C-alpha cells in the first residue's frame, strides 16, 4: 500500500459520531496521561468540589472534560477496535489512546473524529481515570498533558504557516500520524497538502474506521486541508522518504513536520536518522515540531504496556548537530504551553518546569518526568 489519496466526502460541519450512553467494560492502561507527572498530587482538604459532583455524569465537568459515557453505534467500528491485541498491536492502540485523549478534551480541541478513532473501551478507560483523579482531588487530571500538547502543536503549526511565503503551496507532513485528524479540523491547512505517514497497519485501521462510517451512512467531516495523502511505511525500517516523495511530497516547498507522540517509539539511531533525513533533503523553509521524552519518562513504558526507546533531555544541543540550528524548547505549563488548562501553581507540571533540567530527581529520589515540546528550524 504505497500511498492512499483520501477523497473528500460530503461536507458536514455539524457532523458528530453517533455515540450514546451505554455499557462498556474496559481494561485501563491509558498512556500519556500520567506520563510526565508520575503520581497525582492531592489538593488540600479545604478545596470545595461539592458543586462538581453532578458534572461527573453529564458532559464537561469541573475541569471541562467530556465525562459522558459513550458507546459507538457502528458495529463495524466496534469490531475493528475490539480486534486490536493489547500486546501485539500496541502501536495502533497508542494511536487510538491519543485520540481518546482528544475526545476527552474535545471542547478545546474540536476533533470531529476523536471519539470514533478512540473507540469505546479506551475512551471509557480515560473517563474513569479522570473520575478517579477528581475523587482524589488531584491537582493533575488525566489527559490534560495530551490536550496541552495537541494545542501547542496546533498553535505552532498555524504560526509557522503564517510565516511561510504566501505565494506557494505549503506542505504538512505528520510522521507517526496515527489517528490524527488535523486535515479535517484545522482551517489553517486550507492551502496545504497534508501527508500522513504511519505503518500500513495503523493507516489500514484508520481507513477501515472511516470506511465503516461511510458504509453505516455517517457522513465524514469536511476535509479542511487542500489535499490529504496517506503514506504507508515503517519509518524505522523502510524507505519512508522515497514513499513520501512518490506520494507527491515536494522537497522545494515550505514544509511543517509534525512528530507528535512519535520519536520515542524509535531506537535512538533511527530517531536521529529520521531527523537528519528531513534536514538533508528539504530545500525550502523547514520547521519541525516534535515532543521529546526525557530519560526517566521512557521508564514508564513497562507500566504503560508499551515500548519507548529514544529520549533526550537536551534537544537544543542535539538538534543543531542534525541540521536544525534554531531550536526552542517548551515544557507543559510554560506560558506558550498552558492554554489556560494548567492553572494551579502547585501542579506538578509547574513544579517540574521550574526545576533545572540538570536535576534528575527530587529530594525523595522521585524522578522528574518531562515531555519537552520542541520547535526547530532547518538551515
Ligand X SMILES: C[S@@+](CC[C@H](N)C(=O)[O-])C[C@H]1O[C@@H](n2cnc3c(N)ncnc32)[C@H](O)[C@@H]1O
Site residues (CB under 6 A) for ligand X?
Answer: 91, 94-95, 98, 176-180, 198-199, 202, 234-236, 260-262, 265
Shortest separation between residue 44's beta carbon and ligand X, angstroms? 34
Question: Is the Cβ of residue 339 or residue 357 nearer to ligand X in the bound state?
Answer: 339
Shortest separation between residue 13's beta carbon and ligand X, angstroms? 22
Residue nearest to ligand X (CB): 178
Shortest separation between residue 133's beta carbon and ligand X, angstroms? 21
Question: Is the Cβ of residue 33 or residue 179 nearer to ligand X in the bound state?
Answer: 179
Shortest separation between residue 60's beta carbon and ligand X, angstroms? 21
Q: What is the per-residue DSSP string for 30-88? A: --SSSTTT-SPPB--TT---GGGGGGGGSSS-TT--------B--HHHHHHHHT--TTT
Q: What is the per-residue DSSP string for 91-122? A: HHHHHHHHHHHHHHTHHHH--TTHHHHH-HHH
Shortest separation between residue 237's beta carbon and ligand X, angstroms? 7
Question: Is the Cβ of residue 118 or residue 138 nearer to ligand X in the bound state?
Answer: 118
Shortest separation between residue 22's beta carbon and ligand X, angstroms? 25
3-state secondary structure of 330: strand
Q: What is d(CA 328, CA 135) in angstroms, rounded to the nearest whole number? A: 37
User: Which residues, 6+ apart, have CB-to-CB distance to 211 below 8 Å?
Assistant: none
Which backbone phi and psi does 352 adopt, to 5 degrees? -65, -45
Collect contacts of 79-82 with beta carbons under 8 A, ≥24 apart: 80/119, 80/205, 80/208, 80/209, 80/212, 81/119, 81/120, 81/121, 81/122, 82/121
Shortest separation between residue 310's beta carbon and ligand X, angstroms? 10
Question: Is the Cβ of residue 234 or residue 362 nearer to ligand X in the bound state?
Answer: 234
Question: Is the Cβ of residue 270 or residue 357 nearer to ligand X in the bound state?
Answer: 270
Question: Is the Cβ of residue 184 or residue 265 nearer to ligand X in the bound state?
Answer: 265
Question: Is the Cβ of residue 233 or residue 296 nearer to ligand X in the bound state?
Answer: 233
Q: What is the per-residue DSSP string for 197-256? A: EE-HHHHHHHHHHHHHHHHTTPPPPPP-SSEEEEEE--TTTS-HHHHHHHTT--TTS-EE
Shortest separation between residue 85's beta carbon and ligand X, angstroms? 14
Of 156, 154, 225, 163, give the one whose Cα is nearest residue 192. Answer: 225
Question: Which DSSP letter does residue 2 get?
Answer: -
Question: Is the Cβ of residue 131 or residue 204 nearer to ligand X in the bound state?
Answer: 204
Amino acid at each position: 500500500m504505497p500511498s492512499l489519496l483520501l477523497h473528500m466526502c460530503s461536507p458536514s460541519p455539524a457532523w458528530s459520531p453517533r455515540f450514546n450512553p451505554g455499557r462498556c467494560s474496559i481494561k485501563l492502561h491509558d498512556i500519556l496521561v500520567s506520563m510526565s507527572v508520575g503520581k497525582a498530587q492531592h489538593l488540600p482538604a479545604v478545596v470545595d468540589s461539592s458543586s462538581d459532583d453532578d458534572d461527573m455524569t453529564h458532559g464537561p465537568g469541573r475541569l471541562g472534560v467530556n465525562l459522558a459515557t459513550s458507546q459507538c453505534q457502528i458495529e463495524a467500528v466496534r469490531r475493528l477496535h475490539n480486534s486490536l491485541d493489547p500486546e501485539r498491536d500496541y502501536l495502533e492502540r497508542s494511536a487510538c489512546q491519543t485520540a481518546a485523549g482528544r475526545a476527552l478534551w474535545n471542547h478545546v480541541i474540536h476533533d470531529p473524529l476523536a471519539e470514533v478513532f478512540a473507540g469505546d473501551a479506551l475512551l471509557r478507560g480515560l473517563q474513569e481515570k479522570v473520575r478517579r483523579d477528581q475523587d482524589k482531588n488531584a491537582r493533575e487530571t488525566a489527559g490534560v498533558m495530551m490536550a496541552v500538547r495537541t494545542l501547542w502543536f496546533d498553535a505552532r503549526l498555524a504560526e509557522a504557516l503564517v510565516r511561510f511565503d504566501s505565494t506557494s503551496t505549503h506542505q504538512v507532513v505528520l510522521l507517526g500520524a496515527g489517528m490524527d485528524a488535523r486535515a479535517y479540523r484545522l482551517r489553517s491547512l486550507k492551502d496545504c497538502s497534508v501527508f500522513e505517514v504511519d505503518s500500513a497497519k495503523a493507516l489500514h485501521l484508520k481507513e477501515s474506521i472511516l470506511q465503516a462510517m461511510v458504509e453505516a451512512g455517517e457522513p465524514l467531516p469536511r476535509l479542511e486541508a487542500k489535499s490529504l495523502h496517506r503514506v504507508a511505511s515503517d519509518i524505522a525500517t523502510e524507505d519512508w522518504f522515497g514513499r513520501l516523495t512518490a506520494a507527491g511530497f515536494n522537497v522545494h516547498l515550505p514544509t511543517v513536520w509534525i512528530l507528535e507522540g512519535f520519536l520515542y517509539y524509535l531506537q535512538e539511531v533511527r530517531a536521529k536518522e529520521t531527523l537528519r533525513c528531513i534536514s538533508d533533503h528539504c530545500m525550502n523553509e523547514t520547521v519541525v515540531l516534535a515532543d521529546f521524552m526525557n530519560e526517566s519518562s521512557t521508564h514508564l513504558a513497562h507500566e504503560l504496556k508499551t515500548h519507548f526507546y529514544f529520549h533526550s533531555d537536551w534537544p537544543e544541543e542535539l538538534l543543531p548537530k542534525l541540521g536544525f540550528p534554531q531550536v526552542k524548547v517548551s515544557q507543559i505549563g510554560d506560558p506558550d504551553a498552558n492554554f489556560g488548562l494548567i492553572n494551579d501553581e502547585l501542579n506538578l507540571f509547574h513544579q517540574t518546569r521550574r526545576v533545572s533540567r540538570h536535576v534528575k530527581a527530587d529530594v525523595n529520589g522521585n524522578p522528574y518526568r518531562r515531555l519537552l515540546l520542541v520547535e526547530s528550524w532547518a538551515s
